Amino acid sequence: MMPRRLPILADRSVQEAQANRLQGAHEYEAKVSAEGRISCTSGCASCCHYPLAVSILEGISLYQWLVDHYLWTPRLKAKLVEVKEQTLGLSSEVWLLAMIPCPLLTAELLCSAYESRPFMCRTIFSKGDPFYCHPHRLAAQRSGILDRTDAVAALWSAERKTLKRHQLQQVTIPLAAALLLSERIVKGELELEETNAILIAEAQSEK
């Protein structure tokens, strides 16, 4: 059975935002690579334990990719519910120290959605000693994680326009919460335009 699709305008916005993210990430990676050697390696996964929040458009895009690749399983959904419970309203410092792994990280320390991973995961690079990228050692300030403020700001600026089209504010929520909400939107239980209040409530929840 074909998975349900979004209404055409919402679908176009999701695709437009994804295209912007991919382009932004490619440009950033090319710039960083040209400036010197990156020390990140497959299987390190330190940054897969960092706090991660995404916009609803990014959540929908990732959800659709997981469905299309038959990875949206009851097992993954149960994991997302568990991680959502753990991370909702949690301060980033506590999240980091508690080392909550990304729900998409496999036991082999690989990303199960690598091809469709969020922008923040695509643009995190270190040029320092990966030992110091570990969440418990970040405070030592020797990790060499590159500053990507400009790349993130450029992306948000582009995404703001797309969100505005759907009367949505620019709010990011933890990945697990975003994926679960995306499922409801794509299944037609919620209109994209109706999610503003939910997003704001989830972003500020239980503080």
Partner 1 sequence: MKSECCVCHREAHAGSTLTLSPEEKKAIEKTDGKKAPDTLFYCKPCYRILSDKERGAQFLRGMMETGLHQAGVVGAETKASKFHRDLLSKVAKVAK
Taking Cα atoms as reference points, which of 110, 147, 109 lies closest to residue 128? 147
Query: Is residue 202 within 8 Å of 176, Cβ to Cβ?
Result: no
Residue 37 gets the label, from left (phi > 0), alpha (psi -120 to 50) or beta, of beta
Closest distance to partner 1 from the beta carbon of 146 (Å): 21
Beta bridge partners of 111: 105
Least Cβ distance, residue 75 to partner 1 (angstroms): 19
Cα gap 19→26, rounded to integer Å: 11
Calpha distance 154→29 (Å, rounded): 14
> With respect to partner 1, which residue has the nearer C-beta, 19 or 140?
140
Smallest separation (angstroms) from partner 1 to the CB of 193: 29
Closer residue to partner 1, CB minimum distance, 46 or 116: 46
70: its two tokens? 């038959």
Contacts with partner 1, residue ranges (CB under 8 A): 85-91, 93-94, 96-100, 134-140, 206-207
Please, which residue, 88 or 158, has the CB nearer to partner 1? 88
CB 45, min distance to partner 1, A: 15
Q: How far is the CB of 82 from partner 1 (least distance, A)?
A: 10
Of residues 86 and 170, the one with the C-beta less far from partner 1: 86
CB 136 within 8 A of CB 98: no
- The residues facing 145 across adjacent strands are 126
Reported residue count of the chain is 207
Nearer to partner 1, 89 or 188 (CB): 89
Are residues 52 and 175 in contact, defined by beta-carbon separation less than 8 angstroms?
Answer: yes
